[in-house]
Every structure is written in C-alpha cells, then in structure tokens.
Chain A
Amino acid sequence: DQQVKQNSPSLSVQEGRISILNCDYTNSMFDYFLWYKKYPAEGPTFLISISSIKDKNEDGRFTVFLNKSAKHLSLHIVPSQPGDSAVYFCAASPSFNTNAGKSTFGDGTTLTVKP
C-alpha cells in the first residue's frame, strides 16, 4: 500500500512555461508535506514544504498547493528554467512521537525543461 503517490513518472515543459508536479497521499495522519529535488549523482535537496494547516506556500518561483479534502498536493514552478530539470520527490510526515521527522516518499517525477 503506497501512501504517497506521484502518478506521473515524467514531465516535459518548455522553458518559461509553468511546470506542475502532482502528488496524492492516503494517510490522514500526515501533517507536513515536503518537496525535494534530485540531480544525478547527488543526494536530494529540500525545496519547499507546507503544513496541513495551510493550503499554499510560496518561495520565489516555487509554490506548493495543498488540498486536504482531496489528499492532493502540487508543486508549481513558474517560470520553468533548464536548470530545474531534475527528479522531484514528494514526501509526507506525521508530527507526533518518534515518527516525527520520518517521511514517506513518492517514487519521483522526472522534470525536463527544454530550452
């Protein structure tokens, strides 16, 4: 039972356009949602997060939207740049006891931004 799903293995967009990466989850106990970016031969790096009490969080070109009723979140990148080409992982974590800080990851979406 996969608790965090990224249904699109890949996405290709033109430079300057919007990239929208989607993520669905099933566990209602998740309180925090995070996005990571991973380049080849490097570890993932944290990009942006959102808590369950919010529905939007913005950081520069990156915005994450959360729809709790639908158990769905999305990452918007505007405008997309070739340097954004990477694998993007969605992750979710609870906030209680020893599981705090432990995240469940999706399988990732490979974003390609074409010049």
Chain B
Amino acid sequence: DVKVTQSSRYLVKRTGEKVFLECVQDMDHENMFWYRQDPGLGLRLIYFSYDVKMKEKGDIPEGYSVSREKKERFSLILESASTNQTSMYLCASSLGTGGQPQHFGDGTRLSIL
C-alpha cells in the first residue's frame, strides 16, 4: 500500500524559529508537493519538486524554502516562523506523468505562537 509519512501530526513553535517539516514517500514517485490548507481557502501549493534537487515555486512560496536531496524525502523549511504561518501543512507525491493522482500524508497542524 502506498504511503506518505509526515514526521509530526502536531507542532508548536515560537515566532522567529526555524522550522523543519519532513515528508517521506515509499512509492518511488518523481513528484512531491507541499500545500497548506486554511479554512475556506482550499489547498494552496507552496512548492513542488519533479526530481531530486529540482524545485519550483507554487502559488504561495514567500517565507518558505524546500529541500529534496533524496527522491523519497521532501522537506519544507520555514526560515523564520511567523504567526500567519499557523496552518495545516500537507505533503503529497505523485508519478511524473499527467493525470496521476496525488497521494497525501495526514498533515501537520503547525501552530506558531
């Protein structure tokens, strides 16, 4: 069975901290994605990666960076956390061809105090 694992379900950090969210997939997928979900705003793409060391900005990349050193792992970094980054963060992966469904992790509920 396919699996996308996010390192934490809940995380509480302080303003100004550097925050790392980790995601691992076991399906050998080319694509990996980071989204944030806020009430009434659906899923907004932060960054995606279509290959190791390759990344592209999504719709809301400001304040975030990513790292993909290995195919199975995609990390989201909040360089200096702010309260407006309090949100649900979802990681997903998919095959590289068009129309393939994305497989999601269960999310990380991040609170910045």
Q: Using CB atoms and an 8 Å cutoff, list the residues of chain A in contact with chain B.
A: 6, 9, 31-32, 34, 36, 41-46, 49, 51, 89, 91, 93-96, 98, 100-108
Contacts and interface: CB of A to CB of B under 8 A. Distances in A.
Contacts of A36: 101-102
List 7 A-B pairs, minimum CB-CB distance, nearest first.
A95-B98, A43-B104, A32-B99, A46-B101, A107-B42, A100-B98, A105-B43
B96 A100 contact: yes
A107 B107 CA distance: 17
B50 A98 contact: yes
Contacts, number: 75
B110 interface: no
B84 interface: no
B25 interface: no
A45 B92 CA distance: 10
Given A43-B4, A98-B54, 14 more contacts: A32-B98, A51-B99, A91-B102, A93-B98, A100-B96, A101-B31, A101-B50, A101-B94, A101-B102, A102-B33, A102-B45, A105-B35, A106-B42, A107-B40
A107 B35 CA distance: 13
Interface centre among A32, A34, A98 (most CB of B within 10 A): A98
Given A43-B92, A46-B101, A93-B99, A105 B42 contact: yes
Contact of B96 (A42, A46, A101, A103): A101
